[in-house]
Chain A
Amino acid sequence: MKTNPDTLPRYTAAERVNHWLVAFTFFLMTLSGLVFFQPLYVPLNQLFGGGVWARILHPFFGVAMIVFFGGMYVRFRQLCAMTLTDREWLTHVRDMVNGDDRNMPESGKLNGGQKLLFWLLVACMVLLVLSGIVIWRAYFSFLFPVGLVRFAAVVHAAAGAVMMALIIGHIYLAIWTRESMGAMLYGRVRKAWAKQHHPAWFREMTGGSK
């Protein structure tokens, strides 16, 4: 495959595979987890072979997700370190949402919003894993006092709901920002796209030209 000279490499193949493994397990987690969230979603258990199977599988999907998400954490934690520019970017986020990016501080490879999403997802994952262990009745719940199990059930549901909201936002922003999906699918983005959305990164990649 010939590389288009008008494009820049954004994510490596390993990063992309890791991202999509997390995405797939996230959907498995969400669809099987909603079964226990509210009666409204009970029919989703049919995707997994019924309620008992959803109950059996959900925590094991979780184990897979911890592994894959752990990989994402290792790969992206340094890239996602918040800088002063990122904080500045976040204070202007309202302009961005209104479609006016003229006054946005120049973002690097990832902008403040993307980094914030990363850390919020990390926080949700930590809460989900810890509370998930406590409410995994087949293997662990008997180790904990019932008060803690009740608390963990609330934490698990709340962190799950927040994570779903974050991912809905993440997917929407990937659709809203045209061409950004290509970065995670093929790994490359057009130079013009990079200059528009990540000007500091664009300069870095093109050797400091304006």
Chain B
Amino acid sequence: MALQSLDITRCSATTTPSPSQRQTQEVAKLIDVTKCIGCKACQVACMEWNDTRDAIGTNHGVLDNPMDLTEASWTVMRYSEVETDRGLEWLIRKDGCMHCGNPGCLKACPAPGAIVQYSNGIVDFHEENCIGCGYCITGCPFNIPRLSKKDSKVYKCTLCSDRVAAGLEPACVKTCPTGAIVFGTKEAILHHAEGRIADLKERGYANAGIYNPQGVDGTHVIYVLHHADKPEMYSGLPDNPSIGPMVELWKGAAKPLASLGLAAVGVGAFFHYVTKGPNEVSEEIEKEVEDENKS
């Protein structure tokens, strides 16, 4: 099994506990959009470290490049121009996996061990166990996983779990020239974020805040937003993301109950047979038909 140094708290399509004797510290990556200059060094570093190369696309007349996350581009900068009470603002957000505390992808995945959550909070895909059904795409509240046309496996940001396992920070953090991306224990990161918020408020951003949505039990990628009251302004960052009632129903108690129900139908049928006996042709009718045939 890959990355044994990272202990596992959740494992897809697995109903018994995973090896979890050790408790590592929860980590988090902070993306301070207020410090981001949109240079895309993080995109480059991501591709370099993970050795992925996206296809050369076409010019859409905007800075976004590529236009969306792909199986080879695990992080993209999203640029939006919005009118706020401060006038026209250019908001840049580095998009990618949020590494949810309660990951919808993992909940939806039907392949044992294809998605794991390490005890440090990183949610990782193990492509060798992936069956390519795309249920993780259905379960994700942030629209992150991408199915590769080449091998029918899904890919997304690993939060550089390989680097983190070796005590290094993720590649995007390492390369960020403005210090907009910071990595550390979740506790330290939240503390750092609070300092940033205080600073922003001082500078007149009254609604500055942390994006660490509780609907998915918090995330291990956290944003500092100048307009935390309107996250949608940042290229559609969901306001209050959650796994949602449909996925909860689909992957919750309904299926074990359905299995029990099916077993009950089978067992019930057997006991019906045992108690009521078979439904046979009565002797009376046998005799009637016999007589008719004779006449």
Contact = CB atoms under 8 A, between A and B. Distances in A.
B278 A176 contact: yes
Given A51-B131, A52-B152, A55-B132, A169 B288 contact: no
Report, as a range, how many residues of chain A touch the other chain: 35 or more
A37 B257 CA distance: 12
Interface in B125-171: 129, 131-135, 137-138, 143, 147, 152
Contacts of A165: 261-262, 265
Nearest to B112: A42
A110 B285 CA distance: 19
B110 interface: yes
Contacts of A36: 110, 133, 135
A164 B152 CA distance: 29
A179 B281 contact: yes
Given A35-B110, A165-B262, A135 B138 contact: yes
Interface string B253-295: 0111011011001100100110011111110011011101100
Contacts of A52: 131-132, 152
Contact of B286 (A54, A153, A168, A192): A192
Interface stretch (A20-28, A71-79, A143-151): A143-151
B279 A178 contact: yes
Contacts of A99: 276-277, 279
Contacts of A206: 292
Contacts of B255: 37-38, 157, 161
A161 B15 contact: no
B14 interface: yes
B244 interface: yes
A97 to B, nearest CB: 7
Interface in A37-75: 37-40, 42, 50-52, 54-56
Contacts of B293: 5-6, 191
Contacts of B280: 178
Contacts of B279: 99, 101, 176-178, 197
Contacts of B246: 147, 150-151, 153-154
A196 B285 contact: yes
A16 interface: no
A103 interface: no
Contact of B289 (A51, A154, A192, A197): A192
Interface in B207-262: 244, 246-247, 249-250, 254-256, 258-259, 261-262
B258 to A, nearest CB: 4
B259 A40 contact: yes
Interface string A178-191: 11000000000011
Nearest to A160: B258
Given A52-B131, A154-B249, A172-B269, 16 more contacts: A38-B256, A50-B131, A99-B277, A101-B279, A137-B134, A154-B246, A172-B272, A176-B278, A177-B278, A178-B281, A179-B281, A191-B292, A192-B281, A192-B290, A196-B281, A209-B292
Shortest beta-carbon contacts, A-B, top 3: A137-B134, A172-B269, A150-B246
17 contacts: A6-B293, A40-B15, A42-B112, A52-B131, A97-B272, A135-B138, A149-B138, A150-B246, A151-B246, A154-B249, A161-B262, A176-B269, A176-B279, A177-B278, A178-B279, A191-B293, A192-B281
Interface of B: 13-15, 110-112, 129, 131-135, 137-138, 143, 147, 152, 244, 246-247, 249-250, 254-256, 258-259, 261-262, 265-266, 269, 272-273, 276-282, 285-286, 288-290, 292-293
